[in-house]
Amino acid sequence: MSVVTPVTDGTAPRPGLVRPRPRPRRLFTRRSFTKHGAGGGWPFLVPFLASLLIWVYGPAAATVVLSFLRWNLTSGPPAFAGLTNYRALFADPNFLPAAWQTLLYAAGIIPLGVALPLWLAIALWKRPGRAAFTYRCLLFTPVMLAPVATAISWQFALNPLQGVLHALCDAVGLPTPDVLGDPGTALWGLDLITAGKVIGLNVLLFGAALAAVDPRTVEAARLDGATEGQVTRHVLVPQLRRTAVLLTMLAAVYAGQWSFTNISVLTQGGPVNRTDNVYYLIYVYGFDYFDIGRAAAASVLVVAALGVLLVAGGLLRRRRDARA
Amino acid sequence: MTRRTPRRSIAVSASALAVAIGLMTAACGTAATSASGSAPGATITLSFLSYNYGTPDLGGQGTQELINAFEAANPTIKIKPQGVPVADALTEAQTETAAGDPPDVAQIGWSKMAAAYRALPVTAVQDIPTAAQWGAATVGMSQPLLRAVEANGKVVAMPYTISTPTLFYNATLFEKAGLNPADPPATVAEAQRDGLAIAKTGGSGVYFDIADAAKSDFLTQSIIDANGGSEISPSGQPNVDQPAAVAALAAMRELTTSGAQPAVSEADAIAAFDAGKLGMLVTSTAVLAGIESAAQGKFDLRTAAMPGFAGKPAHTTFSGAGLVVLAKDKAHQQAAWQFIKFLTSAEGFTIITSKIGYLPLRPAIVTDPRYLGAYFRKDPRIGPALKQLDEVTPYAFFSGAQAAQAVATLQDDAVQPIVFAGASPASTLTGVTRQIQSMLSQ
């Protein structure tokens, strides 16, 4: 069966002129691998594929193997341990709380690292000019600072005996909270510090997405009498949805890793293990205790958990698309 | 013009990749080989992993001075120093060992020394020189300390930057609180009393650095030892559920719950002491040089022995670091011995004490005008810590492959919650003892 192909000059097709439907282009054809197609460039992919194999899939496979071994890297050859490392993880009173706390880090960083930058980016986009540029620069500055230096600065600022926070509380006659020393607030304090580095970057990314927004849609909404809040909610936010979804996913997946430096410098997992997360614990297993098998087993579980989440997200999206 | 077939291109690319990998491997192999071999009389380069080296503070400056002095005296040996954060010294040594290129000499903290003996290819330092050379090099060193660091009857790691727990106190805050600076607290109960008096004047009272960031248990051991107990039994099992240990940690908790001790981190407490806002700080003598520098012109800094428990002799253990030799070949091991001999000589300890702040492990040099005589007359504040060296008890290790995790578990799950979060000493220590026993049996 053939179909009428619209002509490109905007005129209607002449009656009786029926063009055959072009065959869909296949990505790879036998010909492309031989002499005339793009397949001649395949060998150029070898360095990329080799590096992917050496640096990503090879180590991933090695990690799975290591998770079944008992080894400390230096003394003697590794010994097969079966499921011992996995059993040891679930017997470790710190592992499951750390896994839960990893989710808390993500839950805390999404509003701070996505919703707040979204709001800031829109506010700055609506008021273009020198002031907005200056604010963007100021918000982006923490992104460029070395993570360890930032963490140490926070240590001085939050020192409950003599830090900036202490001076502020003292000035208004309030007791100084020990943000990082109190088991109830330490994790959220670290989340706030971590978000401080993410906000500036995400404001920039939302700003880039806003640059693609057609200003006429906003002007039309205003002409129709929409308030600024309605313009934001019904015109701008929907157009930023893809960026927001992407940044939310990144925040959820990377929150644990982003907070690693702050945990390492500021709390070392304390107080009372309340700021541990699985990434920090994997480091401790691997490079403090040199229990390589257990560190590998924990890494495998983290990747598996992320895989389950991504597959579940994919299934939900497919079901929603099918309904639409 | 002819075009190469894809199969040929793939083969060429794969060959090129194989050659590149081969060259890299060969280059690594060549580097490793040249590092390990050396002709007699040739200059030897000795890699030295140190957590004091490279820091911007006095520790870094002092270590550089030691290296400079050694190289000037030994022109055929060059030191290649490598800095590392204190908490990562063993990690770095072990990863470099795993990569096949361990440092020739490494500075390892005593709390991780048992793990180092187990995991690293350590050559006992006493085995490198002849018996006569060893005897000549160690005469004049603190014999109680040398005995305390022995493992299986010999010195495996050379005591280097050693410290004991010391009471640093702010005599200015003492006077402000109506206390006599000439009469510092000798017991934990007195420290609590004086701490509360200082807290009433608006400062913070006393801080025992018992839950430090590096998760070392040296102060935990010292406090329990001082109360007549022991953290670890001679067989390497936890002893912290025994009455003496429970009472010692209960006393530490009482300091916090009474309001004499702020429930803050080590870093916050040291910063507050440096700023003149904390009355007393019980910690390693290692921080002496830094604190002296911070106190200058700000407050009157004094020191005393670690407060103990009424009616009991104040035994403490030691902290700091030893030097382990990981050099593979005899030439580098001999060079390592020369380096260690210098670092622990009278000249070495003069620099270590006056510049970095650790204890001079050759007690005679503190009165010798050629070495620390003038320094000690001007600044006798290291004296109380030095006196404790005569009664020092060996640093005890947990047994088995999980020793490092056992120390971290004790510090994280018992000491910190008891002392700073108000957990029950008896039940917490009983639970953690069981946890560590199970860990060590694996």
pLDDT tens for residues B145-194?
898 888 888 999 999 998 889 999 999 999 999 999 999 999 999 999 99
pLDDT for residue B25: 41
Strand partners, B333: none
The SS3 call for residue A258 is helix
* Cβ atoms of residues B313 and B101 within 8 Å: no
Residue type, B90: L
Contacts of A262 in chain B (CB under 8 A): none
The residue in chain A having the minimum alpha-carbon distance to the alpha carbon of residue B3 is A35
Q: Which residues of B touch A284 (CB under 8 A)?
A: 408
pLDDT classification of A31: cutoffs 50, 70, 90: low
My answer on whether omega of the bond before B129 falls inside 30° of 0, hence cis, is: no
List all residues 6 or more positions away from A308 whose beta carbon is below 8 Å from its beta carbon.
Answer: none
Nearest to B263 among A178, A273, A290 (CB): A178
Cβ-Cβ contacts under 8 Å, A183 against chain B: 421
Rounded Cα–Cα distance for residues A200 and B14 (Å): 44
Distance, CA of A91 to CA of B178 (rounded, Å):
53
The residue that leads in pLDDT, A262 or A72, is A262
Q: Which residues of B touch A50 (CB under 8 A)?
A: 17
Q: What is the pLDDT of residue A21?
A: 59
pLDDT at A185 over 90: yes
Q: Which two tokens stand for residue A94?
A: 């710190």
* Helix, strand, coil percentages, rounded to 5, for chain B: 50, 15, 35
Q: Please tell me the distance from the alpha carbon of residue A35 to that of residue A17, in angstroms, as a whole number.
A: 35
Cα separation, B317 vs B389, in Å, equals 9
Rg of the Cα trace of chain B?
Answer: 25
**Comparing B14 with A81, which gets the higher pLDDT?**
A81
Q: Which domains does chain B have, with CATH numbers?
A: 45-163+319-391 (3.40.190.10), 165-318+397-440 (3.40.190.10)
User: How many CB pairs lie under 8 A apart between chains A and B?
Assistant: 116
Are B119 and A47 within 8 A, CB to CB? Answer: no
Q: What is the pLDDT of residue A35?
A: 52
B331 SS3 class = helix
> Stretch B408-415: mean pLDDT, rounded?
94
Please count the other Cβ atoms lying within 10 Å of the Cβ belonging to residue B251: 22
Q: Which residue has the tokens 């309904």?
A: A323
* 3-state percent breakdown (helix, strand, coil) of chain A, nearest 5: 70, 0, 30
Assess whether pLDDT exceeds 50 at residue B426.
yes
pTM of the predicted structure, to 2 decimals: 0.79
Q: Which residue of B has its CA nearest to A36?
A: B3
Tell me which of A289, A291, A292, A294 to substitute to probe the interface with B (most B C-beta atoms closer than 10 Å).
A289
Q: What is the pLDDT at residue B13?
A: 43
Counting beta carbons within 10 angstroms of the beta carbon of residue B44, is it exposed (0 to 12), middle (13 to 18) or buried (19 or more)?
buried
In this structure, how many other beta carbons lie within 10 angstroms of the beta carbon of residue B394? Answer: 16
Residue A98 has pLDDT above 50, yes or no: yes
Instruction: Return the higher-pLDDT residue of B222 and A2.
Output: B222
Phi-psi region of A98 (alpha: psi -120 to 50; beta: other; left: phi over 0): alpha
Strand runs (DSSP E) across B179-309, as ranges? 204-208, 278-284, 301-305
* Nearby residues of B245 by Cβ (< 8 Å), 6 or more positions away: B224, B227, B229, B230, B231, B239, B429
What integer is the mean pLDDT of A126-130?
A: 90
Angle of CA points A10, A11, A17, to nearest 5°: 120
Task: Tell me, rounded to whole angstroms, the distance of Cα B149 from its chain centroid.
Answer: 13
Q: How far apart are alpha carbons B279 and B257 in whole angstroms?
A: 17
Q: What is the mean pLDDT of residues A5-18?
A: 46
Residue B258 has pLDDT above 70, yes or no: yes
A51 interface with B at CB cutoff 8 Å: no
In this structure, which topology does domain A98-270 adopt according to CATH?
MetI-like fold (1.10.3720)
B56 CA: distance to closest CA in chain A (Å) = 14
Q: Regarding beta strands B105-109 and B278-284, do their DSSP bridges make them parallel or antiparallel, or are they unpaired?
A: unpaired
Checking if the pLDDT of A36 tops 60, the result is no
How far are the Cα atoms of A286, B217, B236, B259, B320 from residue B111, in angstroms, in the given order?
A: 18, 7, 14, 30, 8
Q: Please say if the pLDDT value at position B22 is more than 60.
A: no
A176 touches B: beta carbon within 8 Å: no
Residue B16's pLDDT is 44
Kindly indicate the confidence band of residue B8, based on its pLDDT and cuts at 50, 70 and 90: very low
Q: Do B421 and A183 touch (CB under 8 A)?
A: yes
The alpha carbons of chain A give a radius of gyration, in whole angstroms, of 27
> Given a cut of 90, is residue B19 above it in pLDDT?
no
Q: How confident is the model at residue A29 (pLDDT cuts 50, 70, 90)?
A: low
DSSP B54: T
Q: Is B17 in contact with A46 (Cβ distance < 8 A)?
A: yes
Encoded tokens for B343: 């670092």
Res. A116: pLDDT tops 50: yes
Closest CA to B80 of B98, B94, B96: B96
Mean pLDDT score, B378-389 = 83
What Å distances lie between residue A128 and A48, A123, B399, CA to CA? 42, 9, 66
The interface predicted TM-score of the complex, written ipTM, equals 0.75
Structure-model confidence comparison of residues B148 and A63, the more confident one: A63
Chain B residues with CB-CB distance to A46 below 8 A: 10, 13-14, 17
Interface of A with B in 115-174 (CB under 8 A): 155-156, 159-163
Confidence check: pLDDT of A56 > 70: yes
Looking at chain A, the domain(s) classified CATH 1.10.3720.10 span 98-270
Q: How confident is the model at residue B196 (pLDDT cuts 50, 70, 90)?
A: very high
Pairwise CA distance, residues B19 & B26, whole Å: 10
Calculate mean pLDDT across residues A284-308.
Answer: 94
pLDDT digit string (tens) for A208-266? 999 999 889 999 999 999 999 999 999 999 999 999 999 998 998 889 889 999 999 99
For residue A225, count CB atoms less than 10 angstroms from its CB and return exposed for 0-12, middle for 13-18, buried for 19 or more.
exposed
CA distance A308 to A29: 34
Alpha-carbon distances of A10 from A5, A13, A14, B422, rounded to whole Å:
12, 9, 12, 81
pLDDT for the residue numbered A247: 94
Q: What SS3 state is found at B307?
A: coil
User: In which element (H, E) is residue B67 found?
Assistant: helix B58-73
Beta bridge mates, B281:
B168, B207
Say whether pLDDT at B433 is over 50.
yes
The per-residue pLDDT for range B82-136, each reduced to its tens digit, is 999 888 899 999 999 999 999 999 999 988 888 899 889 999 999 999 999 999 9
Is a pLDDT exceeding 50 seen at residue B5? no
Which of residues 260 through 279 in chain A touch B, CB cutoff 8 A? 267-273
Could you tell me the pLDDT band of residue A18, with boundaries at 50, 70 and 90?
low
* Mean per-residue pLDDT over chain A, rounded: 87
Least confident of B17-31, B221-235, B365-379, B423-437: B17-31
pLDDT, one tens digit per residue, over B299-312 is 999 999 999 999 98
Mean per-residue pLDDT for A128-154?
91
Q: Which H or E element spans position B44?
A: strand B44-50
> What is the model's pLDDT at position B33?
37
Q: Per-residue pLDDT tens for B123-150?
A: 999 999 999 999 999 999 998 889 888 8
Q: What's the distance, Cα to Cα, between the start and end of chain A in Å? A: 29
Whether residue B389 is predicted with pLDDT greater than 70 in this model: the reply is yes
Dist CA A160 CA A163 (whole Å): 6
Kindly report the nearest CA distance between residue A148 and chain B, in angstroms.
13
User: Whole-angstrom Cα distance, residue A157 to residue A166?
Assistant: 8
CB B313, CB B192: distance < 8 Å: no
pLDDT tens sequence across B338-352: 999 999 999 999 999
Query: What's chain B's average pLDDT?
Result: 88
Please check whether residue A97 touches B, CB under 8 A. Answer: no
* pLDDT over 70 at B15, yes or no: no
Q: For position A178, what pLDDT does the model report? A: 92
* Least-confidence region, from A183-187, A318-322, B95-99: A318-322
C-beta atoms of B91 and A34 within 8 A: no
